[in-house]
Structure 1
Amino acid sequence: MGRIVAGGRSRLLTREDLAGGACQGWVREAYEAYRAVISDPGFPCYFGTMAEAQGHIRYTWVAGERDLGVLAATLREFVALSRAHPRRRHLLIAFFADMGGLDFAGHERRFWETLRWLRARDSEPWPADVPDDPDDPGWEFCFAGDPMFVFPCIPAYERRHSRRMGDHFLMCFQPRRVFFGTNRDDPGGERIRQRIYDRVRRWDDVPPHPALVELAYGDTEMREWKQYVLPDANVPLAGRCPLHVDRGPS
């Protein structure tokens, strides 16, 4: 943990690091709340439950804007770890310090601002096989050359409990490779997805959002960015991605 990497000091932690006191008190509280949720046998994403039980989840924390450089360095190290173990479902959880009771919209802005910050300071080129336009169905967020699914867990959720992990805002980074076996072109992939959605229906007070259930990665009408921040109600997701870059006239 804590080795120096390009761009800052990495703070890539295991659950043992957190339990051993390698963090501030609020981080331990945030982790314990997260662990209580994801370790519940009824939690919808049993892959996440297994990853926590097997010690495959990594953690970091962001105390403020000055800590974003640490987040970038940690994410680079995490990507290297994931590449070295492609058959393990490694994911990175970043806990964020409280910013004075932000509401849902405030945390949503915080999420997109963090992704914009990371994107602007990524030292690796965008992967050649991933479109860089969020309005392309093949687009997904990339960092350090790795495509990944990213989403926030927001304390202000009232009905979508599967996206609320206690009283702290956090972000989850999932490399695309961890979804092996769950894609529609995988044997049994659709069955696994539907099983998870059935568990979501029992866990949440609102059905799974249509942006998740009706479209999958690779569908021509799918826009992955719409799956990142799901509203608390199943309202349509309109507008364009906050990460959109206006290229101007050609």
Structure 2
Amino acid sequence: MMYQQTEIARFAVDDWRKDAFLSFREGVLSPSPKFPCIFATQGLKEDEMRFSFYESDDDEAVKSWAQHLRLYLSSARQLGKYTSYVSFFNLPRDQSLCEYESIFWSIVNRLHRLDEVMWPQERTRNTDSPYWEFIYHGEPIFVVCNTPAYKGRKSRKSSTFLIAVQPAWVFEHMGLLQERGKKAIRVIRQLLQQYDDHPVFPYLGLPGEENNREWMQYFIPETNELDSKKIACPFAYRNDKEQEGAPNPSL
């Protein structure tokens, strides 16, 4: 089920879902230090975000998430140009960043196997391409994971494990490839420098930019001590026969 903020406000005080949302809301609306993603702040203020909650990351939870994400993508254009879909998972909060990363990619891979729409032929499958984007339900989407395990990377820290999704067309509406959009990106990166205890992640970018590796932006490491050429993308494409078997794929 997807919720609006007004519906979450009616949850019981001791409901973990309300606690997770309020913690998220406090961070995104923080005036000092100012939350770096100014578009997320705008989307929350204008009630263009939608939210879901899951008690675990098991197969049934991922199936529910896949269904809710399809519904969200089908209606997202009516919600506004700053829309995003934020899902909270009630997982143990004492796991390591490495463990959370494994969980994240497991969820993404299972989501892909549940997709009822085949990967568009015109879209690259090469995750090392600066043009690669994750596709679900026929739409390119940008995926972000936040966890309680982050320390200095405060812009990705959350009270519980969460995954946020934005349709790629949101970035087009923001004009990020135009001069006004590039100015906004500069502002965001300046805010990141102030917000985080680590330098800005060097592989942030937009599709087509030389340094862009979108999958690397989904789950950012705590520090920047890495070499992209030595890192294999954990995303695994299902085979063609499995895709042809949609719309009722098994996990």
- TM-score (ref. length: structure 1): 0.86
Asked if 1:61 corresponds to 2:53, the answer is: yes
- Amino acid of the structure 1 residue aligned with 2:138: G
Aligned positions of 1:1-250 closer than 5 A: 11-21=1-11, 25-41=15-31, 42-64=34-56, 65=58, 66-85=60-79, 87-99=80-92, 101-165=94-158, 167-179=159-171, 180-184=173-177, 186-212=178-204, 215-236=205-226, 237=228, 238-245=230-237
Q: Whole-Å Cα distance in 2 between the matches of residues 223 and 154 of structure 1? A: 21
Structure 1: segments with no counterpart, 5+ residues: 1-10
- Amino acid of the structure 2 residue aligned with 1:77: L
CA contact (8 A) 2:109 2:236 kept: no
CA contact (8 A) 1:92 1:174 kept: yes
Q: 1:143 to 1:23 in 2, by over 3 A?
A: farther
Q: 1:91 to 1:246 in 2, by over 3 A?
A: closer
- DSSP-derived class of the 2:99 partner: helix
User: Relative contact order, CA 8 A, sep 6+: which one is greater?
Assistant: 2
Q: 1:100 to 1:194 in 2, by over 3 A?
A: closer
Q: Which digits, 9 at most, give the CA deviation of each residue in 1:115-164, with x for residues without a partner?
A: 00000010012134321232232211111111011010011111010111
Identity, in percent, stands at 27
Match of 1:3 in 2: none
Q: CA deviation at 1:93?
A: 0.4
Q: 1:122 to 1:188 in 2, by over 3 A?
A: same
Q: After the TM superposition, list the runs of 4 or more consecutive aligned residues in structure 1 that deviate by more than 3 angstroms.
A: 244-247
Q: Which digits, 9 at most, give the CA deviation of each residue in 1:57-89, with x for residues without a partner?
A: 10001212122111011000110111445x521
Structure 2: segments with no counterpart, 5+ residues: 240-251
CA contact (8 A) 2:112 2:237 kept: no
The alignment yields a C-alpha RMSD, in angstroms, of 2.0
CA contact (8 A) 1:152 1:170 kept: yes
How many residue pairs end up in the alignment? 232
- DSSP-derived class of the 2:163 partner: strand
Q: 1:124 to 1:81 in 2, by over 3 A?
A: same
Pick which of 40-49 and 174-183 moved more.
174-183
Q: Whole-Å Cα distance in 2 between the matches of residues 199 and 36 of structure 1? A: 17
- TM-score (ref. length: structure 2): 0.86
- DSSP-derived class of the 1:171 partner: strand
Q: 1:135 to 1:246 in 2, by over 3 A?
A: farther
